[in-house]
Structure 1
Amino acid sequence: MVKLKSIGITLGLSFAVLLTGCGNEEDAQDNGNADEDTANLGEELNYTITGIEPGAGTTELARNTLEEYENLEGWELQEGSTAGMLTTLGEAIDNEEPIIVTGWTPHWMFASYDLKYLEDPKETFGGAENINTIARLGLEEDMPSAYKILDRFQWEPEDMEEVMLNAQDVSFEEAAQNWLEDNQDKVDEWTEGVEKVDGKQIELVSTPWDTERSSGTVMKILLEQQGFDVTLTPVDPAIMFQAVANAEADASLAPWLPITHGSFYEKHKDNIIDLGENLTGAKIGMVVPEYMDIDSIEDLQPKE
């Protein structure tokens, strides 16, 4: 009995070793196939990430990402325009082709397409971001009504995406007006006890992207309803901070912090008033359609 038991144990161990060896071989084969798939993906994409405007904070973060990830050696960022990126993304999805873009939320593309962020283990795009409101020094004393509304203004990513999505069919002015009419409860909170003015001029500066066009246009109409004569000017992020810091503009609802526009904020923080977040839960990163079998930036293979 002892001898039979020993033989049984020996056979069992041998069989287990055999299975383990087969499993490792299969795992190695699977990993090899995965590497081959991602290498093929790089070739299909010509080792190119589709980006947006050169002056965007998103573009700066994407450039840094290409430098920080060793596996992205040989990859390039194709800089252009937001409209161009969205057109290219839509065409790729229509044909179910691979594509990697620099993307952000809130944005209507996430409501229109089934998309996902690639994991960013090095956090080169930063984590969750906020969109803040900043004002020039002295605005509270000069325009207390506007200052109070700007300070109170806060909404959700879904609110911004609703304006952006509707603005694909109508003007931003009409989309913003419709949103304000549908959300009178929030408007009442922002304007409660605020005295109206008679034609007082105020200038807002913003960045020229749909997220900021949404918040900027909503605030423009809201202040106009309180009697202000509002100018809304789109500029690059560096100019936006500079204008508020130098009192060439009165306020902005467009800074993405703490990462995207962090360098501009640090440069001008002593000459601006930070009113805090007007939206929380924003995010930036590399974005792909859900049908693509890739989950992380680290899954990409360098150009040979």
Structure 2
Amino acid sequence: MFNLNLKRLGIAAGLSLTLVAAGCGSSEEDSSNASGGEGEANYGEQLDYTITGIEAGAGVVAAAQDAVKEYDSLAGWEVSTSSSGAMATALGDAIENEEPIVVTGWSPHWKFEKYDLKYLKDPKGVFGEAEKIKTMVRKGLKEDKPNAYKILDQFKWSSEDIQSVMLDINEGTAPEEAAKAWIEKNQDKVSSWTKGTEKVDGKSVELVYVNWDTEIASTNVVAEVLKQQGFDVTITPLNNGPMWEAVAEGEVTGMVAAWLPGTHGDLYAEYKDSLVDLGANLKGAKIGLVVPSYMDVESIEDLQPKE
């Protein structure tokens, strides 16, 4: 069991988030003057020039902070950090009231199944290209727990797979139960992960993950597969830095939650020589600024700077 003191255990849960939005509309003249384009809403003013972010230190938050520096249209904006859960709540509240909101977003994520959303175009490429979610394990795992190593190495799935698990969890199913249900329906795929392995008798495995919806889904699925193969599995949520550090220092077995090359790029550069990179378990992931589709804006450059 991975023992953590309070300083290192940075679980970002339950943090409060203040969503600032205008409660009244503006006239067509005001909107035209504020945005520089006739008929366009001044979303910056309505949102108090605030992007709703997730955990401080997350790659998508760092990229959003870089975007604020790079884009003239975001001059005077700020990125408000909170938690992924608080961001999702704020997004849902805004959509329910048909209000504007700009959030730091990533996919795969259940929000794209539940809501009609769009990424803002990023002509400067601040958020990078499509990402991969990779599996990282501690050094020495292949030698002392080859069956666990092989399962983690062979774990591969798609955005459709993970989003189905995420939706079940979002709709109230416990993560462990959602994982079991998906595994039962996808035995062919699970068999490809366990191919060439033998069942064990209670060997311990600890997986760490950042408390994002994607990683809650993937880590619970992998944990359940390992349990069904006879492993005694513990999963521990951490913030991004401690998660990487725990694997690199050999204090835990591994993680299936490494977003690269952008989101966790700095952490990978710091720790890559101290852990084992097993490659992508999911391809085509993406990060960026996300808005409801009803907002009349298509690009980051369409937003308005603070005057």
Instruction: In structure 2, list runs of 5 or more residues that go unmatched.
Output: 1-31
Measure how far apart 1:33 and its partner are.
7.0
- Distance in 2 of aligned mates of 1:204 and 1:98: 38
Read off the aligned partner of 2:156 and give its amino acid letter.
Q
2:90 to 77, 85, 88: 88
Partner of 1:267: 270
1:149-178: CA deviation from partner (whole Å, max 9, x where unpaired): 100000001111111110022111111110
| 1:173-232 Cα distance to aligned partner (Å, 9 max, x none) | 111110000100001111122111100011111111110011100011100111100111
Shift of 1:78: 1.5
Aligned residue number for residue 105 of structure 2: 103
Name the SS for the 2:161 alignment partner: helix
Aligned to 1:258: 261
Residue in 2 that maps onto 1:65:
67
What residue is the counterpart of 2:80 in the other structure? Answer: 78
CA distance in 2, matches of 1:232, 1:286: 30
* Corresponding letter in the other structure for 2:239: D
Give the SS at the match of 1:275: strand
TM-score of the superposition, structure 1-length normalised?
Answer: 0.87
Question: How much is the aligned-residue C-alpha RMSD, in angstroms?
Answer: 1.6
- In structure 1, the gaps of 5 or more residues are 1-29
Q: % of aligned pairs identical?
A: 57
Letter in 2 for 1:160: I
Task: Assess if the C-alpha contact under 8 Å between 1:206 and 1:235 holds in 2.
Answer: yes
Counterpart of 1:180 in structure 2 is 183
Question: Could you tell me which residue of structure 2 aligns to residue 219 of structure 1?
Answer: 222
Which whole-Å deviations, capped at 9, do the CAs of 1:76-114 have from their partners, x for residues lacking one? 111112222111111111121111111110000000000
Amino acid at match of 1:236: N
* Number of aligned positions between the proteins: 275
CA deviation vs aligned residue, 1:113-172 (integer Å, no higher than 9, x gap): 000000001111111000000111110001110111100000001111111110022111
Q: 2 CA distance for matches of 1:233 and 1:132?
A: 18
Give the conservation status (yes or no) of the 8 Å contact 2:107–2:287. Answer: yes
Quote the offset at 1:35 in angstroms: 3.0
Q: Would the aligned equivalents of 1:48 and 1:75 in 2 still touch at CA under 8 Å?
A: yes
In the superposition, relative to structure 1, how do residues 252 and 74 fare at CA in structure 2: closer, same or farther (>3 Å)? same
Aligned twin of 2:242: 239
Residue 49 of structure 2 aligns with which residue?
47
1:126 is matched with 128
Residue 88 and residue 161 in structure 1: after superposition, are their counterparts in 2 closer, same or farther (change >3 A)? same
- 1:286 lines up with 2:289 in the alignment: yes
**C-alpha distance in structure 2 between counterparts of 1:293 and 1:256, whole Å:** 30
Deviation (angstroms), 1:38: 5.0
Assess if the C-alpha contact under 8 Å between 1:103 and 1:285 holds in 2: yes
Matches for 1:163-178 after TM superposition, within 5 Å: 163-168=165-170, 169-178=172-181
- The amino acid that maps onto 2:84 is T
Q: TM-score, normalised by structure 2?
A: 0.86
Deviation at 1:32, TM superposition (A): 9.5
The CA distance in 2 between the partners of 1:81 and 1:270, in whole Å, is 30
Aligned letter for 2:103?
V
Query: Bigger radius of gyration, 1 or 2?
Result: 1
Q: Decide whether the 8 Å contact of 2:58 with 2:264 is kept in 1.
A: no
Look up the match of 1:5: none
Counterpart-to-counterpart distance in 1, 2:217 and 2:301: 34
Deviations 1:241-295 (A, max 9, x none): 1111110111110010011101110111111110000000000110011111110
Task: Give distance in 2, aligned partners of 1:38 and 1:56.
Answer: 32
Are the equivalent residues in 2 in contact too, given 1:72–1:302 (CA < 8 A)?
A: yes
Classify the secondary structure of the residue corresponding to 1:126. coil
1:209 and 2:212 matched: yes
Query: Do residues 196 (structure 1) and 194 (structure 2) align?
Result: no
**AA of the residue aligned to 1:52:** I
Q: Which has the higher helix share?
A: 1
Residue 7 of structure 1 aligns with which residue?
Answer: none
Residue 12 of structure 2 is matched in structure 1 by none
